[in-house]
């Protein structure tokens, strides 16, 4: 019910043959890992490279790790930078362009999240190519512009706990304020939503998680799958009774019903990008073992009192 992939075992290979140039990808979570709901990949597009205009029968979300790729969407080309993220809805044509051939940005890398899970090779097609990207209007990403409704960018300050102090940033919001864009902090854990229904995602979500030293998520499970890609630091993870130490670049996945937990015993902050599919339900999204252990003990005490 879980999957662990070391960074050194991730091998990017050419993808979208005949419809791309200098583009590579590695599926890090898919059916081979045991997943039935998601496809997660690490993508790379060299400077001067491109992916032709295409559309999918699944929704695609992404998070830029490095470089300056351009996403061509709705006739506009958005130059992106690390921290940029967004959603490409089902059936919406889009294309990608690498940074300029002479750009100092070099190769662009991003994580993609696909839901529902793409079909296996040889099955009914779920990606449809239209042709090379045509002319487009270059538009800087402005997350307060309604035309950028599917896009977002996480600034480093967005997940810094010190910024939760009263009055921090209230005079200069980077995006329209709501609980969906707030920083959630609990038990030494900070969570920043990136892609969810706010950006029109229907089948999945993507968010950033940061654990302070000593941060703990006690054993629990979910009615959905989760993936975790470590971006900084290291953390101990337990799944189905097995313990792992996750480091930068490692990938972890837990299936529906997999009991898992995280313990930051490293003495430093750890950060990862997390995805979920299906989306978290309004209620009963987390089932903590401790809550049901408490009930079992309480019932036993009540039974003993009656005897």
For every residue of 248-277, DSSP letters joined together read TT-EEEE-TT--EEEE--SSS-EEEEEEEE
Are 139 and 160 in the same domain? no
User: Do both 92 and 137 map to the same domain?
Assistant: yes
Phi-psi sector, 156: left (phi>0), alpha (psi -120 to 50), beta: alpha
Tokens of 275: 């995805």
Total structural domains within the chain: 2
- Domain limits at 106? 2-152
Shared domain for 95 and 197, answered yes or no, is no
Rounded to whole angstroms, the maximal C-alpha distance in the chain is 81
Three-class SS of 57-87: CCEEEEEEEECCCEEEECCEEEECCCCEEEE
DSSP conformation class of 302? H
DSSP class of residue 303? H
Same domain, 141 and 217: no
List the one residue out of 176, 195, 214 whose CA is nearest residue 276: 195
Same domain, 147 and 200: no
Quick check: is 120 in a domain?
yes
Question: Looking at the structure, do residues 111 and 183 belong to the same domain, yes or no?
Answer: no
Which residues neighbour 272 within 8 Å (Cβ) at sequence distance 6 or greater? 208, 209, 228, 229, 230, 231, 235, 246
**140 lies in the same domain as 196:** no
| Cβ atoms 235, 246 nearer than 8 A | yes
Domain assignment of residue 127, yes or no: yes
Q: Which of 152, 184, 209 is the last residue of a domain?
A: 152
CATH of the domain at 29: 2.60.120.10
Residue 179 inside a domain? The answer is yes
- Distance, in Å, from the CA atom of 21 to the CA atom of 52, rounded to the nearest integer, reads 9
Is residue 307 assigned to a domain?
A: no
Q: What is the pLDDT along the chain (307 residues), one digit of tens a residue?
A: 999 999 999 999 999 999 999 999 999 999 999 999 999 999 999 999 999 999 999 999 999 999 999 999 988 999 999 999 999 999 999 999 998 766 677 999 999 999 999 988 777 789 999 999 988 999 999 988 888 999 999 988 787 765 544 333 434 445 543 445 555 666 678 899 999 999 999 999 999 999 999 999 999 999 999 999 999 999 999 999 999 999 999 999 999 999 999 999 999 999 999 999 999 999 999 899 999 999 999 999 999 999 8
Q: Which of 67, 20, 63, 65 is nearest to 47 (CA)?
A: 67
Q: In this predicted structure, what is the pLDDT of residue 185?
A: 61
Q: Are residues 38 and 128 in the same domain?
A: yes
Nearest residue to 15 via CA among 4, 23, 6:
23
On whether both 159 and 281 belong to a single domain, the answer is: yes
104 with 159, same domain: the answer is no
Q: Tell me which residue has tokens 């000593």.
A: 214
169 in any annotated domain: no
Question: Does 114 share its domain with 160?
Answer: no
Is 159 within a domain? yes
Residues 263 and 132 in one domain: no
């Amino acid at each position: 019910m879980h999957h662990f992939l070391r960074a050194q075992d991730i091998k990017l290979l050419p993808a979208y043959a005949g419809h791309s140039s200098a583009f590579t990808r590695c599926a890090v979570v898919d059916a081979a890992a045991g997943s039935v709901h998601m496809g997660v990949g690490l993508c790379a597009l060299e400077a001067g490279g491109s992916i032709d205009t295409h559309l999918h029968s699944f929704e695609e979300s992404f998070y830029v790790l490095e470089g300056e790729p351009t996403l061509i969407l709705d006739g506009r080309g958005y130059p992106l930078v690390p921290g940029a993220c967004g959603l490409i809805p089902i059936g919406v044509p889009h294309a990608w362009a690498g940074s300029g051939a002479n750009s100092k940005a070099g190769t662009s890398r991003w994580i993609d999240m696909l839901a529902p899970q793409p079909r296996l090779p040889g099955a009914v097609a779920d990606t449809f190519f239209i042709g090379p990207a045509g002319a487009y209007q270059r538009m800087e990403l402005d997350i307060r512009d309604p035309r950028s409704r599917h896009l977002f960018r996480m600034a480093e300050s967005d997940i810094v706990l010190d910024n939760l102090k009263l009055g921090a940033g209230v005079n200069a919001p980077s995006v329209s304020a709501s609980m969906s864009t707030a920083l959630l902090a609990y038990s030494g854990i900070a969570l920043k939503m990136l892609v969810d229904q706010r950006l029109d995602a229907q089948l999945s979500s993507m968010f950033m998680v940061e654990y302070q030293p000593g941060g703990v998520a006690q054993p629990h499970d979910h009615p959905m799958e989760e993936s975790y890609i470590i971006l900084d630091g290291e953390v101990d993870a337990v799944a189905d009774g097995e313990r792992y130490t996750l480091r930068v670049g490692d990938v972890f996945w837990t299936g529906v019903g997999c009991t898992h937990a995280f313990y930051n015993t490293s003495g430093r902050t750890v950060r990862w990008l997390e995805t979920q599919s299906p989306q978290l339900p309004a209620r009963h999204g987390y089932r903590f073992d401790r809550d049901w252990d408490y009930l079992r003990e309480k019932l036993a005490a009540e039974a003993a009192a009656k005897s």
